[in-house]
Structure 1
Amino acid sequence: MRMRQRLVVLHRYVGLVMAGFLIIAGLTGALLVWYNELDALINPQWLQVEPPTAHSEPRSPFALRDRVDAAYPDANVHWMMLAPPDAHSPLRFFLSPKADAPALHIDEVFVNPYTGQILGGRLWGDLSQGLANLMPFVYRLHHSLALGTVGTWIFGIVALLWTLDCFVGAWLTFPPPRRRDARHRPRRFWTRWAKAWQIRWRAGGHKRTFDLHRAGGLWLWALLLVFAWSGVALTLYDPIYRPTTGLFLSFQEDPLANVPTRANPSPQPPIGWEPGYHAARQHLEALTQDRDLTIHALERFAYTPHKNALKLMARTSSDVNERFGETWVYVDATDGALLGHYLPTGEAAGNTVTTWLTSLHIAAVGGVGYRIVTTIFGLAVIVLSV
């Protein structure tokens, strides 16, 4: 069997293996582009708040964290927002269960930032709680088929196959070489290949279906490759993506990689939440001055007990993600000493490329226009798969 025939068979059967998964990924991805808007539409009682007056200021996020902490005695609040994304949004807090406590029925809590009222909560992604969890469940389907680690590996392998199949599929669109008229072969090649970009709309039946798949794949090839390889980054980062990309590009080291894991971690940061935040903010300001960066927003703050570390997450001029910041500063949760930092771009080429890939994947760049393109692309993936 000739090489071309072998690749046709490979492309066919790899495509059949991937098709069902890509249909799920395309449909859920088209919805996730509008995650916040759809979630707010489904859950207005939690996700839409009105400031009492035009000039109302949100309360201290740390006072609100303490209120949530007191309201859920079986849980710890180890992740918090520092400010609502806009004047009509709540603050979110995520809970983690205390040792020997029963399983949580709520782990995401919504709080009115002006009144301090706890608006409600949900066990993120648990569809048994009803439509309130629809969009988180769609996210779980998109990332892991809602199967946890096993599903993440499945989707990661599919994304890896998809990446390789992009090159096989592109090669198969090239017209087979002809021996005669070698002098005009380059011109004839482009003339013949041009047919692969066209769709015979009037042909009907198999020919039109074939053209939709071949021409659709060619016109979308660059995006298909971006989404396939970024899918590997989002699912198999440590085992596949970073080692492979690291052969060509450098990466920042994990700031907590050399921090020892604590056998009996403190349930709350010993330094305290607010003092820890101020220490992290000072280190962030020093970092941005040193790198000549601008701080646009201080967004989230989290505690990692087993590493005894606090993490301040901000949006700076190093960020390209328009949805949330990915500039991070880590400090010791006992004395506020700097443990390290992470910059999404400008620090290491591998991280810069990865940031752009993943931001394109989740439609967090390019504004509404690119989000519409990504929605259409998700539907196109379904068409190519079918």
Structure 2
Amino acid sequence: MKNSVVSYPSFKSGRKIWLQAHLYLGLFAGALLVLISLTGSLIVFGGQIDTWLNVELMRVDRPSENMPVKALSVILKAAEFVLPETGMIREVKFPRHPDAVFSILYHIPPSPDSYQIFVNPYTAEILGQRLWGAFDWCCSWHGPLMAMIYRFHDSFWLGKIGAMATGVIGVLMLISMISGIVLWWPRSGKLKAALAVKPKSSSERLTYDLHKVFGIYPAVVLLMLLFTGAYLSFHGSFPKQVNTLVGLLSSITIAPDFSNHTSHVDQDPISMDKVLEIANSVIPDGKIDFILLNNTGNGIVKVFKHGPDELMESITRRMVAIDLKSGEVLYTNYGNNNTAGDIFDEWQLSLHSGEAFGLIGQVIVFTMGIVPLVLYITGVLRWSQKLKVKRLITKKI
């Protein structure tokens, strides 16, 4: 009886598979990633850029150091003077700094578009208003510059379909990055050469070396950004499914759904000043960041406070839900022990934006925006060089 021989794919054939994956994923998904990454760089400092472009709307001079901020009821009363007859307030964003303003977001049904009213916190003067737009595909492409850039980064102005597409691109480019690392991986004793650009080399070798070093040095950060970006895109499109998937390892705390809530008290709504008083009694520390008003008629208001222990200034986790008629506290996550799933979920956006590591982290993420462009240009050049060589060989044959 002859011994049977089992053949395994050679390293060379395996490398060819990785090379094909790296090439085609990089050529097609990589082109879209360039657009996502460049807009992502701007978003890192999007709030500051938006304020700089709209100083007259978003910045005020504090009259004196001890000048108090006007009561919320006064701010809302001032906003109502310019609010259209059918306008409905969705959100009230509080000033985060002494020279910042109140931003009141409203919409005019049935349009999904939103608008912003800016109010001086010390005088209740209306500073102006502007179209904000919406995430929906119909309205993503208009509004303030930074809002449009953010929506393009998030969904290519295509709403939920675009958000799913960015998630898929993130996954595909993760595979491309991993294939690039596999192809780069040096043999024993060749690590130093694999990490360097060869001096006085040909244009072909220089292109290869630049592609190599721009891919390998920031690889950890790029892999992190691709993973967190894909996670955020899929979580935005399929929150229940993603939470279930994460929940296989650790549960994620989900706030109750109040869409079917009906108040058991038949009386006029309590004042917004009273709402803040209740919220501050439930969550005594931190600063009020914003309030969400429910426009479905179920009389729920949600107050969000930013605590000193939260990772990101732009994301607020502490929340209390209050019945507007009875003043009853329906839910708060304050004092809850975060699960590992909660911590994992919270870190995704803070890692993606760089805020988890402060200003240094933001600067690193900002600079990473140019890396996919360099990789794409050098990758296309390298591909075209190889095609040229193949054509020359074919002609000789």
TM-score bucket (shorter structure): 0.7 to 0.9
| Alpha carbons of structure 1 residues 317 and 15: separation in structure 2 relative to 1, 3 Å | same
Give the match's secondary structure for 2:103. Answer: strand
Counterpart-to-counterpart distance in 1, 2:74 and 2:104: 12
1:130, distance to aligned residue in structure 2 (A): 11
Counterpart-to-counterpart distance in 1, 2:246 and 2:141: 41
1:369, distance to aligned residue in structure 2 (A): 2.4
Give the match's secondary structure for 1:352. Answer: helix
Summarize the alignment of residues 212-231 of structure 1 with structure 2, pairs less than 5 Å apart.
212-231=210-229
Cα displacement string for residues 282-313 of structure 1 (whole angstroms, at most 9, x for unaligned residues): 2223xxxxxxxxx2322111122446432221
Instruction: List alignment gaps of at least 5 residues for structure 2.
Output: 1-8, 378-397
Counterpart-to-counterpart distance in 2, 1:8 and 1:64: 61
| Alpha carbons of structure 1 residues 249 and 7: separation in structure 2 relative to 1, 3 Å | farther
Question: After the TM superposition, which segments of 4 or more aligned residues of structure 1 sit over 6 Å from their partners?
Answer: 126-132
Match of 2:252 in 1: 251
Match of 1:95 in 2: 106
Instruction: List alignment gaps of at least 5 residues for structure 1.
Output: 176-188, 286-294
What is the letter of the counterpart of residue 303 of structure 1? L
TM, length-normalised to structure 2: 0.79
Summarize the alignment of residues 1-386 of structure 1 with structure 2, pairs less than 5 Å apart.
2-72=13-83, 73-82=85-94, 84-98=95-109, 103=111, 107-125=115-133, 133-175=144-186, 189-237=187-235, 238=239, 241-252=242-253, 254-257=254-257, 259-261=258-260, 270-285=269-284, 295-306=285-296, 308-342=299-333, 347-386=338-377
| Alpha carbons of structure 1 residues 204 and 16: separation in structure 2 relative to 1, 3 Å | same
Counterpart-to-counterpart distance in 2, 1:39 and 1:327: 26
Matched-pair contact (CA < 8 Å) for 2:232–2:348? no
Give the match's secondary structure for 1:124. Answer: strand
| Alpha carbons of structure 1 residues 343 and 210: separation in structure 2 relative to 1, 3 Å | farther
Give the match's secondary structure for 1:249. Answer: coil
TM, length-normalised to structure 1: 0.81
Larger Rg: 2
What is the letter of the counterpart of residue 298 of structure 1? I
1:263, distance to aligned residue in structure 2 (A): 10
C-alpha RMSD of the superposition = 3.2
Counterpart-to-counterpart distance in 2, 1:107 and 1:136: 12
Give the match's secondary structure for 2:206. Answer: helix
What is the letter of the counterpart of residue 173 of structure 1? W
1:7, distance to aligned residue in structure 2 (A): 1.8
What is the letter of the counterpart of residue 209 of structure 2? D
Give the match's secondary structure for 2:162. Answer: helix
What is the letter of the counterpart of residue 28 of structure 1? T
Matched-pair contact (CA < 8 Å) for 1:143–1:235? yes
What is the letter of the counterpart of residue 173 of structure 2? W
Residue identity (%) = 21
1:321, distance to aligned residue in structure 2 (A): 0.9
1:204, distance to aligned residue in structure 2 (A): 4.0
Give the match's secondary structure for 1:94. Answer: strand
Which moved further from structure 2: 241-250 or 57-66?
241-250
Counterpart-to-counterpart distance in 2, 1:218 and 1:345: 41
1:209, distance to aligned residue in structure 2 (A): 2.3
**Equivalent residue pairs, number:** 355
What is the letter of the counterpart of residue 216 of structure 2? L
